Structure 1
Amino acid sequence: MSASSANDSPRVTAAQPAFDGVDLHALAGRLGTPLYAYSATAIRQRIAGLQTALAGLDATICYAVKANSNLAILGLMADAGLGADIVSAGELKRALAAGIPAARIVFSGVGKTDDEIDAALEAGIARFNVESLDELHAIERVAGTRSATANAAVRINPDVDALTHAKISTGRAENKFGVSIAEARRWFAERAQLRHVRLDGLHVHIGSQILDLDPFRLALHRVAAFWRELVQAGHPLASIDVGGGLGVRYRAGQDQPIDAGDYAAVVREALAGFDGRLLLEPGRYLVAEAGVLLTRVLRIKEGTERRFLVLDAAMNDLLRPSLYDAWHDIVPVSPEPRPPATYDVVGPVCETGDTFARGRELPECAPGDLLAIQGAGAYGASMASTYNSRPLVAEVLLDEGRYAVIRRRQTYEEMVAGEQPAQDWQAP
């Protein structure tokens, strides 16, 4: 795979039923299905490509933990020298446990609690990305109780259409994220009143799965204009966080991801002359194409109007198709040539929304066949649930012909471990 290209990521094919040198039939036979499998090689290559594209810049890549928060995946990020972009105290604990230094962690998100702010201050994170005036006051208050100073960046909402799905667009005026440039201007004008917050950064993130450079270019030029305005007004900046959002190939032959070098060129051009640190928050871009969800065909159901391919994986294992109507390529892991057939690919959960694909043409399938749902390394396991009392599936990391279980398959006993009969009744 090219060091800088997002278009050469590994793919499972019927003719090549292996992933990172591991035979997927043998893997599924040993560990069962459904099963998430991630390629360590693919993740390392994607990281290296982005690092190469950013060479010469004072830039820190902070992996967006929400994309895939498994400790082993975070360990790969730590080994490569990456930081972390977190949105909860739980993600903070995961990042630290995986060896990511607090000095390379930034805390984003619109709903940080006082306890989460306090935990982040205690850990010594690099900075907070602040989403509202109320949050700014909360950080000031909590930092004051510690006699500490919190580094903070204001997340500006540039009102830019990211040309992506409405549910993952975050940079429009109607979205819940960030504040207007006009409001951010007032924050800086009044920042001398802050005794425990050092407001010296800007942050922008316009959405996810972006496949066009123009939204990035427009957003960053608006950020750059504001940065220059702030400097002229006597407000120097220590950092500009350009967010994440780089898209990946979910649909072969249709999705054309942005080359890392082309993206870096837009950042360089828009922020030329900035002498502070640049922060980036890729998540999906680093891990999505490095993961597959292995699943077996349970049965073929012949409906009056549709033909259903029923899998042992379900919406609780991979929510993206149900939540976003997202496309994931699905391939049989079999070298045998078969005639084509058209299916609605569904899971066993009792919801009509438990559908991975509609009217999808695949090689004819039979019960017991092994399939690979591609592009499942991001927002797959991290969004999974135990809906319908289905235990969480196992995850494995593959690395040049070997594998390691990085989350064992949840047992029924583990799934209900925190539950108990209503016996210890108490008055509030």
Structure 2
Amino acid sequence: MLISRQVLELPTAALRPFALTALRHPTVSTLLADHRALLADLLDGLGSPLHIVLPEIFEENVAELRRAFAEAGADADILFAKKANKAGCYVTSAAALGLGVDVASVPELVKALAGGVPGHRIGISGPEKDDTLHALAVQHDCLVAVDSLSELRRLAATARRARRQARVLLRCRTAGQPASRFGLSAGEREAAVALCAELAAHISLRGFSFHLNGYSSAERATAANEMIEHCLDARRRGSLRAELVDIGGGLPVRYVEPRLWDAFVEQNEPAHYHAARDFKDFYPYGGQPATRAVRAIMAHPVDGGESLSAKASRNRIRFVVEPGRALLDQAGFTLFRVQQVDDRRDTDGYAIVTVAGSSFSLSEQWFNTDYLPDPLLMSSRPVADEVFPACVAGSTCLENDLVTWRKIGFPRPVRRGDHLVYLNTAGYQMDSNESPFHDAALPLKAVVRLGDGAGPPRWRLDGI
């Protein structure tokens, strides 16, 4: 293959009305248009699939999110949700920017500390954390979101042995999601606040948090208002440090233009998928950007008209937010090499393109759904005036190993040796459920920086 002659192609929206052409950051467009030879060399040398991670875009997203909170009149501490991507480069960027990190395990905490994030900027979340995680959190002055009375007692015992005071948020169930398995019920919350007062030598109650499914700005604002009231109630009972409300993550990301998304939703049917797969739920790929969601949450009226941010400011409440996907928007993409093409157009009406890799490297399948933004086709062959409908399969022996169940309308036949590019995969797609199935190596991550654009992109393997 003559790498320098590769042509970047988009699935043809005009010939397939429900195409979902992925949005692209200018840096991503530059890499794909001007540095295809580098990307192809990296894929050839490092293996398929290969994740390209772009910390410069992560850093832009941090600045934009900080600006959105400031413009909304809200005082907010941003903690990057490390679970959204295991790449160390994002933690390094977070440390350089004075950003916090949210972790939920000992290895995540160790990597955050090793990446340069000080303990007082690290939040510890997750249900019923073990004693080792508690001990490290206390030692490094991390902020621990406690999920139950039993965990609160264990954490206090750990702090007592260490002769330290643990900083704590109490995670509570919301009125809108009372059946959640996470957090304290109303009665448990009352008991936990009383226990914090009793154990004040070892526990410092700093505020409240909640777990919320979904992307409703109004629901998140309503839940945050509940937590403000819990802070005020705790203060009345003597806990003057109850000043934080953690609104979690759940800030949406826009992957495709809303008009394309609306057209897709209207036309979607099982016939558009391999084996007529009938998916019941999808991520809202055409939703509002994260910064717009922040403004909507902060401006949401509470208590008869006052905005959430105004109420928080009036009561000296500071927000904590834990975005993962939102900070990783456009900050990475994934390359696959085409390994084989089974052309079934004469019998089934579409082909099955098998790539070197598997659906374990695009984690949307874990949610029993499909990653919908169209992959790009990179090929040395010229564009043909022919729509080539195909699904994309992984190379394992599993029947359900489909990287893309949806039939993609490629603008020419896909051939062995071609490359597929899945855009905007840094947020939860790259490594939420990767697996060395068949003894396959886990995909590598190449950290790429364009810098000022004066020279060629710089790259290195993540973690080195």
Could you state the TM-score of these two structures normalised by the residue count of structure 1?
A: 0.82
Deviations 1:327-347 (A, max 9, x none): 242121359434222222110
Call closer, same or farther: CA 1:19–1:11 in 2, change over 3 Å: same
The match for 2:269 is none
Q: Secondary structure at the match of 1:49?
A: helix
- Tell me which residue corresponds to 2:63: 48
How far residue 33 of structure 1 moved from its aligned partner, in angstroms, is 2.2
Alpha-carbon RMSD across the aligned residues, in angstroms, is 2.7
Alignment of structure 1 residues 22-421 onto 2, 5 Å: 22-23=35-36, 24-55=39-70, 57-125=74-142, 127-160=143-176, 172-194=177-199, 195-207=201-213, 210=215, 212-236=216-240, 237-252=242-257, 253-254=260-261, 255-264=286-295, 266-267=297-298, 269-271=307-309, 272=311, 273-303=314-344, 305=348, 307-329=351-373, 330-334=375-379, 336-338=382-384, 339-363=386-410, 364-379=413-428, 380-400=430-450, 401-407=456-462
- Mean CA deviation greater in 38-47 or 379-388: 379-388
Contact 1:20 1:39 in 2 (8 A): no
Distance change (3 Å), C-alpha of 1:407 and 1:262: closer
CA distance in 1, matches of 2:318, 2:390: 50
Give the AA of the match of 2:417: G
**Residues 21 and 215 of structure 1: is their aligned pair in 2 closer, same or farther, counting only changes over 3 Å?**
farther
Q: 1:174 to 1:370 in 2, by over 3 A?
A: same
Whichever residue aligns with residue 364 of structure 2, its letter is R
* 8 Å contact kept, 2:366–2:433: no
Structure 1 residue 366 displacement after superposition: 1.2
Structure 2: distance between partners of 1:128 and 1:367: 50
Deviation at 1:326, TM superposition (A): 3.3
Partner of 2:7: none
Greater mean deviation of Cα atoms: 334-343 or 197-206? 334-343
Cα distance in 1 for partners of 2:96, 2:324 equals 16
Task: Give the secondary structure class of the aligned counterpart of 1:333.
Answer: strand
CA distance change for structure 1 residues 51 and 365 in 2, over 3 Å: closer, same or farther?
Answer: same
How many angstroms apart in 2 are the aligned matches of 1:20 and 1:233? 61
Q: Give the conservation status (yes or no) of the 8 Å contact 1:38–1:397.
A: yes
Contact 1:153 1:201 in 2 (8 A): yes
How far apart, CA to CA, are the structure 1 residues paired with 2:56 and 2:145? 31
Change (3 A) 1:250 1:325: farther
1:159 and 1:340 mapped to 2: Cα distance?
50
Deviations 1:264-296 (A, max 9, x none): 452363142231432111111111431111001
Q: Deviation of residue 77 (structure 1)? A: 1.2
Distance (whole Å) between structure 1 residues aligned to residue 160 and residue 342 of structure 2: 63
Whole-angstrom CA distance in 1 between matches of 2:445 and 2:44: 14
- Paired residues in the alignment total 387
> How far apart are 1:257 and its partner, in Å?
2.7
Task: Name the SS for the 1:18 alignment partner.
Answer: helix
Looking at structure 2, the residues matched to 283 and 251 of structure 1 have their Cα atoms a distance apart, in angstroms, of 19
Cα distance in 2, alignment partners of residues 260 and 368 from structure 1: 40
Q: Give, in whole Å, the separation in 2 of the partners of 1:200 and 1:40.
A: 32
AA partner of residue 436 (structure 2) = T
The CA distance in 2 between the partners of 1:204 and 1:231, in whole Å, is 19
Structure 1 unaligned regions, length at least 5: 1-6, 161-171, 410-428
Amino acid at match of 1:92: L
Mapped to 2, the partners of 1:333 and 1:12 lie a distance apart of 18
Task: Using the TM superposition, name which of 353-362 and 390-399 deviates more.
Answer: 353-362
SS in 2 for 1:292: strand
Letter aligned with residue 175 of structure 1: S
Whole-angstrom CA distance in 2 between matches of 1:102 and 1:362 = 49
Other structure's SS at 1:124 match: coil
Distance 1:331 1:12 in 2: 16
Task: Tell me, in whole angstroms, the C-alpha distance in 2 between the residues paired with 1:12 and 1:73.
Answer: 17
Contact 1:312 / 1:347 at 8 angstroms: preserved in 2? yes
Secondary structure in 1 matching 2:426? coil
Partner residue of 1:18?
31
Distance 2:463 2:159 in 1: 39
Structure 1 residues 111 and 354 mapped into 2: Cα distance closer, same or farther (>3 Å)? Answer: farther
Give the 3-state SS of the residue equivalent to 2:245 in structure 1: strand
| Cα displacement (A) at 1:8 | 6.8
The CA deviation at 1:76 is 1.1
Q: Does structure 1 conserve the Cα–Cα contact (< 8 Å) formed by 2:251 and 2:290?
A: no
Contact 1:70/1:406, CA 8 A, preserved across alignment: no
Structure 1 Cα separation of the partners of residues 83 and 131 of structure 2: 21
Offset of residue 247 of structure 1: 1.7
Work out the percentage of aligned pairs sharing the same amino acid: 24
Distance change in 2, residues 1:312/1:25 (3 Å): same
Cα distance, 1:93 vs structure 2: 0.5
Contact 2:363 2:431 in 1 (8 A): no
How far did 1:140 drift? 0.9
Change (3 A) 1:190 1:137: closer
Which range moved further: 99-108 or 70-79? Answer: 70-79
| Bigger shift: residues 295-304 or 392-401 | 295-304
Pairwise CA distance, 1:259: 4.2
